[in-house]
A and B are shown apart, each in its own frame.
Chain A
Amino acid sequence: MSDHKIGVYVCHCGSNINGVVNCAKVTEEIGKLGEVVVAKDYKYMCSDPGQEMIKNDIREKGLDRVVVAACSPRMHEPTFRRALEGAGLNGYLLEMANIREHVSWVTKDKEEATKKALSLVKGAVKRVKLHEPIEEREVPVTNTTLVLGGGISGIQAALQVAEAGHKVYLIEQKQYIGGNMAKFDKTFPTLDCAACILTPKMVDVGQSPNIELYTSSEVIKVDGYVGNFTVTVREKPRYINHDKCTGCGDCASACIMKNRIPHEFDEGLSKRSAAYIPFPQAVPLKAVIDDENCLLLTRKKCTLACVKACGAKAINFNQHETIHEFKVGSIILATGFDLFDAKRSPQYGYGKYPNVINGLQFERMTNASGPTSGHITLADGTEPKSVAVIHCVGSRDENYNKYCSRVCCMSSVKFAHLVKDHCDAEVYEFYIDMRTFGKGYEEFYNRVQEEGVHFIRGKGAEVAQKDGRLVVKAEDTLLGQYREIPVDMVILNTALEPRVDAEKVAQTLGISRSGDGFFMESHIKLDPVTTTTDGIYLAGCCQSPKDIPDSVAQGSAAAAQSLAIIATGKVKISPISASIDSEQCAGCQICIGLCTYRAIKLNEETLRAEINEAVCKGCGTCAAGCPSGAIKVSHFNDDQLLAQIEGVLA
């Protein structure tokens, strides 16, 4: 085989690489290797002039292989592949050496870093010689979208895709959509009533001809890849015929279990029946029978008062779970957050003192359609004369979550205002730092300060009971003084945490989570909406705690991603796949059992194994198991890997 003409380009990345790695030296050494006809270093290879340099050399010097030593290929491999293609060279004739993330950013000693960078580039040069051109596979896109989670971010995403004229399957675990926002009364910073801005959107979801809403449902399996996912959804029975139920609530009033079951939507502040309507504005506005508490479903014995009460004859105890399968082009994850369980910080007495409540409970209390009809009341039904709000419970705390939950300073200020508004009690806010970063937020904070709220800088350390009253103990860091403030009610503003089922959902969808447990984005700054799996996008608090404006913005952004792939009509999928050399295959069929995707079959005539490239994902597991060495994985074949290993260890 004739010699290759390899061009090697070493990027300084400003001082990111060159500040530690001696790029000139690496370039000089690499230039001495056989078949390397061009070796250059440059300030920013990814810039226009950097890419032009590569293209010119390909054209003028006839390069047939290119090595770029720069940042991680996860960052710029597509960029440089495009540059090669721009000059008429197949993009897979490129190899990148990661001398930033894997060298300059993790190594202090300049000499060691330079040596390591040189080895990586040598490996890349050895490997690239064995590269072969690969054509990217293009597949058509299914023009439907699945949105998982019907909180404000999922609703926003679903509506935008639907408004653009495309079908959406909206899958919600609970019996209703709206998520956490549906529980609020007012929202900061403008104090709009949550229902007034959310309800119309929920109604739109219910009425949109392009949205198929599945409540009480969860995703149990995801197959396929970008443009062509098959999602399996399990819908739990509600024991109510949706078409017949009018949402009147007569079953709830008749149910034997009436006022006996703590109501989740009211955060346990009210009691409901086993047959119930989740809340007055619920979408869908249909009754549901709770199979954990219904006497008939749990003990097989009941007077069936609900059935008798239902004039529409909508109750059907013979419903079973239904399994649905949807073909979609992309998936938007909008599963939101869970509230930190304040019992995990026992020093605050949550669950012990009845007048210590959490933020969502306070939201329910202030909600006119909530358990207290909008009155802020103590456990004995009277109004509090003084209320404390403690920030950062479970947030910014090494023991629980290191991160800041971002919305609690603002919601605490909102709570203070609402207390003042509803009952004019004294309010004491215990904060570590006040974070009011959004549009109109600082202004809202200033306004509430003027309402006479006491802001005490210092984390509430403990809540105790003294002479029948609650006492908040804290170090006031501005006064440099230890304080004990007696109050009637304490609101714990707890952290926003990853959902309990986040791990399971991540595994089902094949995406990653960050260290804090939230779903991980491709790039924290430049790509906060996509995941590392093509075609799966993120919106709202499932990615990180955020307020409603940001959740809505991200919901729209995720919808734009879905619409973009629908608009192009096709997507490129990884062309990396395995193939079997029938001459070498012994027909042992070991590979068949190794492939999770069942891409390998035995050809009954030749008795040799064959791989269906359309199904193969290119993991290479089969190749590692084939005793005859008959399987070749494109771009990751034995020779390429062995050459790279030889190079990096040289």
Chain B
Amino acid sequence: MNDKFEPKILGILCNWCSYAGADLAGTSRLRYPANIRIVKVMCSGRVEPTLILKAFQEGADGVLISGCHPGDCHYVDGNIKTLRRTPLVARLLTQIGIEPERFKQVWVSASEGERFGKIVEQMVEDIKKVGPYQKKMGDQLDVVMDEVAASAKEAAAAAEEKGGLNCGS
């Protein structure tokens, strides 16, 4: 679409697997596009919709969430909670006009440096096709984002409840 367009991607990576995997890409001197900015969380389960929305609000063209493979989460199953949250977040983003190419949730282990690089490469390519993210709602975006963030949390909460988790009243 636009040759000069270099998408800005925010990567939120869990400390134990994915951040270490991204480190391994470095120690192995693998090259991948410089479009990604990495922020660390202890577990992918920490990633709440607000963080993702904030990124788009701040001008990101895409957001990548990465955690340990299912079964490998340092906190047993934080990533399973991520997994359940992902479709909700994805749906919410499409509802407010953010193309599916801009949001990706993956698993990268501490030994998958090469895979991490490839994922970033692919994502940059995909986002280049859809072009820069333009805040579609003008000045009102911030307000909408706040509302959406609140409703996302509720939706997520409702889903957890349906997931049969132990939560009462």
Contact = CB atoms under 8 A, between A and B. Distances in A.
A102 B58 contact: no
B109 A512 contact: yes
Contacts of A646: 54, 58
Contacts of B50: 638, 642
A506 B8 CA distance: 35
B72 interface: yes
Nearest to B164: A593
B45 to A, nearest CB: 3
Contact of B167 (A576, A589, A596): A589
A74 B13 CA distance: 13
Contacts, number: 176
A626 interface: yes
B151 to A, nearest CB: 10
A119 B11 CA distance: 13
B157 A625 contact: yes
A609 to B, nearest CB: 10
A298 to B, nearest CB: 33
Nearest to B22: A102
Given A106-B117, A515-B112, A624 B27 contact: no
A522 to B, nearest CB: 10
B43 A619 contact: yes
Nearest to A649: B58
Interface in B112-169: 112, 117, 150, 153-154, 156-157, 160-161, 165-169
Contacts of B154: 627
B37 interface: yes
Given A72-B26, A592-B166, A627-B150, 12 more contacts: A74-B23, A98-B23, A98-B38, A101-B27, A514-B111, A515-B111, A588-B157, A590-B161, A593-B165, A602-B168, A623-B46, A645-B39
Contact of B34 (A100, A109, A507, A626): A109
Interface of A: 72-74, 98, 100-103, 105-109, 112-113, 115-116, 119-120, 123, 506-507, 510, 512-515, 520, 532-533, 576, 587-590, 592-594, 596-597, 602, 617-621, 623-627, 629, 633, 636, 638, 641-642, 644-646, 648-650
Contacts of B75: 596-597, 617, 619, 621
Contacts of A123: 37, 39
B46 A532 contact: no
A609 B3 CA distance: 52
A644 B26 CA distance: 22
B92 interface: no
Contact of A100 (B16, B26, B161): B26
A79 B169 CA distance: 47
B39 A594 contact: no
